[in-house]
Structure 1
């Protein structure tokens, strides 16, 4: 996967293969990101390489509860810039289900979204191929503060005020 930002840095070498096609063929030792239903099948059968899951906007993250402790990576798809369901999935995974592994935004991911995505728990971003990941990296620092409580800063700004 090219154009990857992970934990605030550009990543050049990433072994994960994103396979959107549920029927895609891959080697037993490959590090693969599979659609939810295919992931559940492969996880039950066993896989030698790295195994991660791709959640679509209509996926139920609760289907992953028994796998969360062993999953290194969950990718959440943003098929269109205006589709914000992935934000809710990310926040559910982090806050409600306690997922601590890598949470990667994939699909129509643009610089303008990165700061907001980080606030709900994403720590990796696969930037669209037609955009510069170097320029997108600056999007993580677009805002110095958030008013509301977030995954990164659970206490809202009003309660963080310092009295003099």
Structure 2
């Protein structure tokens, strides 16, 4: 069974199966157990899927979070696909889902997810990560907290460093 990394660094088995978009002449076939369906198919079959806690969605990098903004309370898990590591649109999607639309469910990064991206994904609001299969998942916990402090405000801390400066001890230079 595949594994994912949680925001706290724990590595757990991934019970959610990601379903690909069906071809134009095919229908969406749901497997047994929890699954992530493409957002467009979820919206198309909203009446059938609404309230099912074993069905979440995945958004592709070009899909805007506004697409599902009115249904967030019905989605236990939203995955954001990173089709290639250099496509940063998923970071904005995560931040919008958390800050503008108030999504409080699980937000997962899928696709071309690399170790050096994890801390930045965490700061944008992701709380689970499906690493690219060729990456060593045991290195992920260290990568989630590589930097001890961040200058900018983000979903994980809404105060920039200059507002938090009193929290840090000042070195005695005398």
Q: TM-score by structure 1 length? A: 0.91
Greater CA deviation, 135-144 or 74-83? 135-144
**What's the CA shift string for 1:16-62, capped at 9, x where partnerless?**
110122354224x5311011111112322237561111101110111
Report what 1:119 is aligned to.
123
Matches of residues 6-155 of structure 1 in structure 2 within 5 Å?
6-8=6-8, 9-12=10-13, 14-22=14-22, 23-27=27-31, 29-46=32-49, 50-155=54-159
Deviating above 4 A after TM superposition, structure 1's stretches of 4 or more consecutive aligned residues are: none
CA distance in 2, matches of 1:95, 1:40: 22
**2:97–2:103 contact (8 Å) kept in structure 1:** yes
Query: RMSD across aligned C-alpha pairs, in angstroms?
Result: 1.8
Q: Normalising by the residue count of structure 2, what TM-score does the alignment of the two structures yield? A: 0.86
Gaps of 5+ in 1: none
Structure number, greater radius of gyration: 2
- Change in 2 beyond 3 A, CA 1:136/1:46: closer
Structure 2: which 5+ residue stretches go unaligned? none
